Amino acid sequence: MNPSVRKVIVPAAGFGTRSLPASKAIPKEMMTLVDRPLIQWAVEEAVASGLTRVGIITAAWKTAIERHFGRSPELEAFLENKGKAVELEEVRRIARLADFSFIVQDEPRGLGHAVLMGEAFAAGEPVAVMNPDTLYDAAVPCLKQLKDVFEARGASTIVLGPIDEEGTRRYGVARVEKVADRVFRVLDIVEKPGPEKAPSGLGVFGRYVFTPAIFVALRETLPGYGGEVQLTDAIRILIKREPVFGVAFEGRRFDAGGREGFIEATLALASKGISR
């Protein structure tokens, strides 16, 4: 029987340069999308996928993230005294969403390095990784789509979706072979190759479930694109050692790390109603 996945790493230590100047003083992950911070959408997707432990990779100055997911006795007492029962329950619900751990990254050195910071948190178990910039609206949570394939096959699993030429300059691109409906064996993956060198029209969009072997690969990964430790490069190492599968997700994806994508996600989710 393959191991179940109960932990997720959420990298959130970067400067959020695509969201400047809004993210100069407020962590990008704490910017409000409809009625809740961007990072809360990711956490709620993880919880809806059956994960119970959340490790957030954060920066020393981003104390607002930890405060948001922690208890707030003063606020709770104020709301209780004012008879604001609905607001009080929502504040308490946020702190009960999951078992949270916060790992401080001294300086942003790439997504791969951020994930490596979560090795002790993973503690030898399989672990999911979620980029909170990427938001999915799906009947079955995107992370659960990956988790189901991981637990069925016992191998690392990443999300795949179609990209255009511009997407090949912004995302990792995978070379694959189909093995089942919406499931592919990943043969290679390249970080932001551009249209001339892209191995396919399938990009990788911020959701992963890994075996513990990813941390061995990350420790061997040298700085790559942009001078940073790229998770994509570690996956390339992993592919040479064990199977890695890709899942063509069902649903709608938003790149909420940029202005246009953030607005698009806000309009789309607001039009559906704020409750999910």
Class of domain 7-272 (CATH, top level):
alpha beta
Name, in order, each residue with C-beta under 8 angstroms of 49's C-beta and a sequence gap of 6 or more: 128, 141, 143, 144, 147
Q: How far apart are CA 104 and CA 62, in angstroms?
A: 9
pLDDT for position 188: 94
Predicted confidence band at 223 (pLDDT cuts at 50, 70, 90)?
Answer: confident
User: Which amino acid would we find at residue 208?
Assistant: Y
156 or 271, higher pLDDT: 156
Range 124-140 average pLDDT:
96
pTM: 0.94
Q: Tokens for 267, please give them.
A: 């309009």
**Is 275 a residue whose pLDDT tops 60?**
no
pLDDT for position 36: 94
Task: Kindly report which listed range (51-60, 113-122, 161-170, 234-243) carries the lowest average pLDDT score.
Answer: 161-170
Task: Kindly report which listed range (77-86, 157-166, 221-230) carries the lowest average pLDDT score.
Answer: 221-230
**Is 58 a residue whose pLDDT tops 50?**
yes
Instruction: Kindly state the helix (H) or strand (E) to which residue 53 belongs, with its residue range.
Output: strand 53-58
pLDDT for position 68: 96
Name, in order, each residue with C-beta under 8 angstroms of 267's C-beta and a sequence gap of 6 or more: none
Q: pLDDT digits over 70-122, tens only? A: 999 999 999 999 999 999 999 999 999 999 999 999 888 899 999 999 999 99
User: The tokens 């791969």 sit on which residue?
Assistant: 112
20 or 269, higher pLDDT: 269
**Is 153 a residue whose pLDDT tops 60?**
yes
Q: What is the DSSP letter of 160?
A: E
Q: Tokens for 44, please give them.
A: 């709620």
Phi first, then psi, for residue 173 (nearest 5°) are: -125, 135
Q: How far apart are CA 47 and CA 55, in angstroms?
A: 13
**Is 274 a residue whose pLDDT tops 70?**
no
Q: Where are the domains of the chain?
A: 7-272
> How do beta strands 134-137 and 32-33 pair?
unpaired
pLDDT for position 273: 65
Range 192-200 average pLDDT:
90
- Side-chain-facing half-sphere of 33: CA atoms under 13 Å: 30
Q: pLDDT digits over 6-51, tens only? A: 999 999 998 888 888 888 888 999 999 999 999 999 999 999 999 9
User: Which amino acid would we find at residue 11?
Assistant: P
pLDDT for position 185: 97
**Is 191 a residue whose pLDDT tops 90?**
no
pLDDT for position 276: 44
> How do beta strands 7-11 and 53-58 pair?
parallel
